[in-house]
Structure 1
Amino acid sequence: MRATLQCTSLLGAAIVLLAGVVVATPASAANPIITSVYTADPAPLVVGNTLYVYAGRDEAASGQQNFLMREWRVLSSTDAATWTDHGAKANIGTFRWAGADAWASEVEPRNGKYYWYTSVNGNGAGWMDIGVAVGDSPLGPFTDAKGGPLISDSTPNSSGLNIDPTVFTDDDGQAYLYWGSYWGARAVKLKPNMIELDGPVVTPQGLQDFWEAPFMFKRNGLYYMIYAANDTNGCVTSSSYACQRYATATNPMGPWTHRGVVLGQVSSTTNHAGVAQFNGQWYMVYHNANAPGGGNFRRSVAVDLLHFNADGTMQRVTQTTTGPPPNPGTPPTGNIAPSATASTSHVSSWESLAAINDGGTPSSSADRSNLVYGNWPEQGTQWIEYTWPSARSINRTSVYWFDDDQGIDLPASCRAQYWTGSAYADVPGQSSCGTAANTFNSVTFPTVSTTRLRLSITARAGNSTGVLEWQAFAA
C-alpha cells in the first residue's frame, strides 16, 4: 500500500465486521484475474496443486480519493489462468483490537497451520500495526493468533509505517519477517510459534531505493527480495508511481545486492507484487487499475509469467491483458525434448528434422534404422532449436551425432544457447560440448529457465553435420 496515498479511514475503531458468505465462482483467463470486485496487494502461496492469492479488497466509490479496505479475500487457481474468488476469509473484525484499514497481507504455512500476516490500523488513522491470524487450511477459517499486534510503533526500531509484511521460512525451519514503508525496510527472526519475535529488529542493508512492499523468496540457494521503489533513476518518470526493484543475498538477513527493475510502472500509482513457482513455471502477481471502472483506489490483481536468466538474474516482466497460458500439469521431468517444437537453420531435403526428438536410441553414429537429421551441403556453423509453449527449467542437454562418411561428419565444436527473452546467449557455466562418435555427448550447466534452447554446431572444414537424437533434461 503506497503510504503517500494514505488518508483518514472512514471506519470507526469500534466497527466489527463478519466475513461474508460468498459462492466461489470461476473467472475465465484474462488480466485482471478477477473483475467482480476490486482486489489489491496480492501475495501468492502454492499448496499442492493449487496456487492461492491473498489480497485486500478495494471498496472506494467511483471518484473517491482514498482507500476504503475492510476485508482480505482468497483467490485460487489450479492452472494459473482460470481463477476462483472464495470471498472474504478475514477482515478487520478478525482483530478486535483493530479499527480500520485492511491493507497488504501474506500467508505463510507452518506446523500444519496457515498464518496470515496483515497490515491493519490498530490505534486510529496513521497508526498501522501488523497482526497475525491463523487457520487450519489455506481457506481458513482464520482467527486472531495473538490477541494484539505482532509489530507496532512501540516495537523497538520499527519502520516509519508498519505495513506490508512478508514472511519467509528457510530450509532449516527459521522464519523471517520483513516489512516497512517510508523508505524504512525492517527485518526480524520469528520464533517457531510464528507469533513472537526472536531477536532484535534490524535495518537490512543494500535494498536500493526501497519504498515499501517487500516480498521474499528463495531460488537455487539464492534469496530474492522484490520491493516497490518510486525513484526516477530508471524506475518511474514520476515519483507518484512505483516500480518493482529486486535484490539478492546469500543470507536471508542480507546484506542485499541490488539487481535492477523486474516490474515496471503499472497503471495504478501503487505497485505491490509477489512471486511464486507453480507447476515448474515462475509467476509474478501484482495489481493495476485496468479493470472496468478501476483507478488508484479501485485496483485489481493480475498475473504474468516471470523468467530467470541462467545467471539467476530476473527478466523484466511483460505485462499482458491475457494473462499466462493454462498450466494444469505437474512439472516436467526427464527428457523434455519430445514435447518441444524443433526448428533448424537448414535440413537436407532427403533427411528429417523430426529425427532429433523422436525418442530414438541409436546403435551407432552411422545408424540409419530410424530418421536422421543432416544439414548437407551447408558448412560452417548451423543450429537446431527447441521451443516450448512456456518456460522450462533445464540443466542438461545430450546429443548423439550422425556421421555418414559421405559429407556429413562429426562436428568440430558445439555450444548450448538459450533465449533470454530478447536475444540468444551462450548458456553460462556450461561444460564442454563433446564431439565423440557412437555415444550421447552431455553438456551440463546451472539451471536456466527459458522457452527456447538452441544447439549451435560448427562443422569440420569441408563437411556438414548431422544429429540422430538431441535430448534436453528438466532440472
Structure 2
Amino acid sequence: MKRRWPAAAAAALVLVLATGQPATAAAPITTAIYTADPAALVAGDTLYVYTGHDEAPAGGANFVMRDWHVFTSPDAATFTDQGAKLSISNFSWAGADAWAGEVERGADGRYYWYVPVNGNGAGWMDIGVAVGDSPLGPFTDAKGGPLISDSTPNSSPLNIDPTVFTDDDGQVYLYWGSYYGLRAARLNPGMTSINGSVITPSGVTNFWEAPWMFKRAGVYYLAYAANDSGCAAPGYACVRYATASNPLGPWTHRGVVLDQVSSTTNHPAIIEFKGEWYMVYHNAAAPGGGNFRRSVTLDKLYWNTDGTMRKVVQTGGSGGGQPPAGTNLALTATASTSYVSPWETLAAVNDGYVPTSSADRGHGAYGNWNHQGTEWLEYRWPSARTVGRVATYWFDDDQGIDLPASCQVQYWNGSAYVNVPGQSACGVSPHTYNVTTFTPVSTTRLRLNITSRTGFSTGVLEWMALPAAASTSNG
C-alpha cells in the first residue's frame, strides 16, 4: 500500500502536482456515430484520425463493425467526419469484422491502410492492406488477399491490430498481435509483402493487444493495451509502454501511460501535431455508449526530462469533465456510509461541487482509508424518488486511496437492498463523471457498493443521482 501523508501536506503536494502541467479538456471527436480503435496520421497541417465504426444496437453484446471512417482536424480540437473511406466490401476475400487499422505513407507517396478482417477462408482474422493516393483515398485493395494470415509462419493465432512504423532509413515495420503475443516483421518497399521472417519481440510486459509504435529523440516507443491486475480491473485494460534502441527490440517496460477507461477495451495512438503530443484513445463516455458503442477522444500527453511519458489525464469522459445534465436528486438526500476515514468528509459526495480532477481536494473528499474490500455509500429521501442514472466522480490521492476495481448500484425495494435492473457498466475512470444507467426505480434509498483494488482503499468526490432523462425542472 502507498504511504498516507498528513492531510495538510498531502493537499499542498496535490496543488504542486496539479499546477505543474495543465490538461487540455477533450470530448468525443463526434457523437453522431460511435467510433473506436483510433489511429492518427499527420499530413501537412492536418491531423487525420482513422477510426473503426461501432454499430451495435443499444444493449448489444457483440461488436458490429463494417467500415472505417476518417476524421480531419486543423487544431486537434475540432474534427470533421469525412465519411466511411474503407469498408469490408473493398476486400473481395473478406467476410466481416472491420477492426483496428492504421495508415502509413509509403515511399511512393501513396497511403497504405492496414486492417484486420475476418477472412472467408480458414482461420479467424487476417490482415489486409488498401491503398489510396491521398490520406482520404479513395482506397482500394492493394493486394487481392491477406498480407498476414494463419498460413504466415509464426503469425499470431489472432492476427489483429496492425501498427506500422517507418524508420529514419526508410525501412517500414509492421507490428500486430493479441493475447497470444506481439508479432513484428519488416515490409518490402512495395508495402504489400513481408521482408524476411515474422518475429516475436521480447521484453513486452503483459501485452494484450492494440500496439502503437513511434520514435522520439532516437528512442523507439511501443504502447499497447494490457489487462493485468496491476493496472486494470478484471475485464478492463490500461495502456502500458516500453522503449528500445532497436525497432524490433528487445523492449524494456517503462510503466502505464493511460489508465483503464470506461470501456473494457483500450486502444492508444500517440502522435505529435504542431508541437504538441496527444494520446488518442476510445472510451464509452458518449451518450448511449458502452463496450460495443465506443467513442474516440484525445488528450494531451506530456514528457519527463528523461524521456519517459507522464500518465495521461483523461478529460474526455462525460463532456470534458462537466456533470451530466439533469436534476441532481442527491442534493436533497441524506448521505450515510459504511465507513469514512477521520480526515475525510462524507458531506463532499452530495454538495454539488464540480471537481477539476480526481486529485481535487478543493471542496473536501470522501475516503475510506485504510479499509479494503467493499464499502458503501447510501442516499435516503423522506419520500420516493425515481432514479435512472448515477454519476460518480472518483477520488484518487495517489497515497493509498485509488480508483476502485468495480462498483454496483442497489436500491431499497421496501424490504431489502437489491441490484438496480439493467445496469450499464459502472465506470471507474479518473478525472470524469462515470455515468451508470439502469431501468428507472422508485425508491427512498439508493446505495453504491464500491470494491477496492488489492492493497488500496477508495474515495468519491461527487456522487450524483439523476432521473433517467435530462431534466430542466426545479423539482
Deviations 1:397-430 (A, max 9, x none): xxxxxxxxxxxxxxxxxxxxxxxxx9xxxxxxxx
String of CA shifts for 1:68-110, please: whole Å, max 9, x gaps. 0000000110000001001100000110100100000000001
The normalised TM-score by structure 2 is 0.61
Note the C-alpha offset of 1:273: 1.0
* Cα distance, 1:215 vs structure 2: 0.4
List per-residue Cα deviations over 1:15-44 (Å, max 9, x = no partner): xxxxxxxxxxxxxx8411111000000000
Question: Could you tell me whether the CA contact under 8 Å between 2:129 and 2:141 is conserved in 1?
Answer: yes
Match runs of 1:241-256 below 5 Å: 241-256=236-251
Which of these residues, 269, 275, 292, is aligned with residue 280 of structure 1? 275
The reply on whether 1:45 has 2:41 as its aligned counterpart is yes
Q: What residue number does 1:265 align with?
A: 260
Corresponding residue of 2:205:
208
In structure 2, do the counterparts of structure 1 residues 91 and 125 end up closer, same or farther at CA, with 3 Å as the change threshold? farther
SS of the counterpart of 1:99? Answer: strand
How far is the alpha carbon of 1:173 from its aligned partner?
0.5
* Per-residue Cα deviation, 1:302-328 (whole angstroms, up to 9, x for no partner): 11000110100000000003669xxxx
The reply on whether 1:197 has 2:194 as its aligned counterpart is yes
- 1:302 counterpart letter in structure 2: T
Change (3 A) 1:323 1:281: farther
Task: Give distance in 2, aligned partners of 1:36 and 1:46.
Answer: 24
CA distance in 1, matches of 2:288, 2:170: 44
Q: CA deviation at 1:124?
A: 6.5
- 1:155 matches 2:152: yes
- The answer to whether the 8 Å contact 2:26/2:299 transfers is no
Q: Within 1, Cα distance between the matches of 2:298 and 2:74?
A: 14
2:123 and 2:150 in contact (8 A); partners too: no
Q: In structure 1, what is the equivalent of residue 448 of structure 2?
A: none
Counterparts in 2 of 1:199 and 1:125: CA distance versus 1, 3 Å: closer
Q: Does 1:219 align with 2:216?
A: yes
- Once the two structures are superposed, residues 193-237 of structure 1 have per-residue CA deviations (whole angstroms, 9 ceiling, x without a partner) of 00000000000001100011000000000000000000002x112
Letter of the 1:159 counterpart:
S
Asked if 1:236 is matched to 2:228, the reply is no
The amino acid across from 1:272 in the alignment is H
Q: Verify the 8 A CA contact 1:213 1:272 in the aligned structure 2.
A: yes
Q: Aligned partner of 1:103: which letter?
A: W
Moved over 6 A (4+): none
Alpha-carbon contact 1:160-1:182 (below 8 Å) kept: no
Contact 1:302 1:323 in 2 (8 A): no
Asked if structure 2 preserves the Cα contact closer than 8 Å seen for 1:120 and 1:131, the reply is: yes
Specify the SS of the correspondent of 2:195: coil
Offset of residue 160 of structure 1: 2.0
Q: Aligned partner of 1:214: which letter?
A: P
Partner SS state of residue 161, structure 1? coil
Is 1:307 the equivalent of 2:305? no
For the residues of structure 1 that align with 2:256 and 2:275, how far apart are their CA atoms? 23
**Counterpart of 1:301 in 2: which secondary structure?**
strand
1:62-461 matches, within 5 Å, as 62-110=58-106, 111-123=108-120, 127-233=124-230, 235-238=231-234, 240-321=235-316
- Secondary structure of the residue aligned to 1:254 is coil
Rounded to whole Å, the distance in 2 between the matches of 1:209 and 1:62 is: 32
Once the two structures are superposed, residues 276-296 of structure 1 have per-residue CA deviations (whole angstroms, 9 ceiling, x without a partner) of 000000001000000100000
Aligned residues: 295
Structure-2 separation of matches of 1:303 and 1:123: 35
Aligned to 1:334: none
**For residue 32 of structure 2, what is the aligned residue in structure 1?**
36
- Distance of aligned partners of 1:323 and 1:274 in 2 relative to their CA distance in 1, 3 Å threshold: farther
- Distance in 2 separating the partners of 1:294 and 1:119: 23
Determine the structure 2 residue equivalent to 1:405.
none
Query: Quick one: structure 1 residues 271 and 125, their matched pair in 2 at CA, closer, same or farther if it must change by over 3 Å?
Result: farther
Q: CA deviation at 1:125?
A: 9.5
The answer to whether the Cα contact below 8 Å between 1:160 and 1:184 also exists between their aligned partners in 2 is no
Q: Distance in 2 between matches of 1:155 and 1:106?
A: 20
Distance 1:171 1:120 in 2: 30
1:315 aligned counterpart, secondary structure: coil
Tell me the SS of whatever aligns to 2:89. helix
Partner Cα separation in structure 1 for residue 204 and residue 113 of structure 2: 25
Q: Distance in 2 between matches of 1:266 and 1:126?
A: 31
**Does the residue aligned with 1:201 lie in a helix, a strand or coil?**
strand
Q: Report deviation, 1:123.
A: 2.8
Judge conservation of contact 1:304–1:323 (CA < 8 Å) in 2.
no
TM-score, normalised by the number of residues in structure 1? 0.61
Q: How far apart, CA to CA, are the structure 2 residues paired with 1:279 and 1:128?
A: 36
Segments of structure 2 that go 5 or more residues without pairing to the other structure are: 1-24, 322-397, 399-475
2:161 aligns to what SS in structure 1?
coil
Question: Cα distance 1:124–1:256, how it changes in 2: closer, same or farther (>3 A)?
Answer: same
Matching residue of 1:331: none
Shift of 1:182: 1.7
- Counterpart amino acid of residue 108 in structure 1: E
Q: Which residue identity lines up with residue 127 of structure 1 in the other structure?
A: W
Q: Say which SS state the counterpart of residue 246 (structure 1) adopts.
A: strand
Distance 1:121 1:182 in 2: 17
**Partner AA of 1:316 in structure 2:** K
Equivalent pairs: percent with the same residue? Answer: 71
Higher radius of gyration, 1 or 2: 1
- Asked if the contact 1:263–1:316 (Cα under 8 Å) also holds between the matched residues in 2, the reply is yes
Unaligned runs of 5+ in 1: 1-28, 325-421, 423-475
Alpha-carbon distance in 2 for matches of 1:253, 1:189:
9
CA-based RMSD = 1.5
The answer for the alignment partner of 1:25 in structure 2 is none
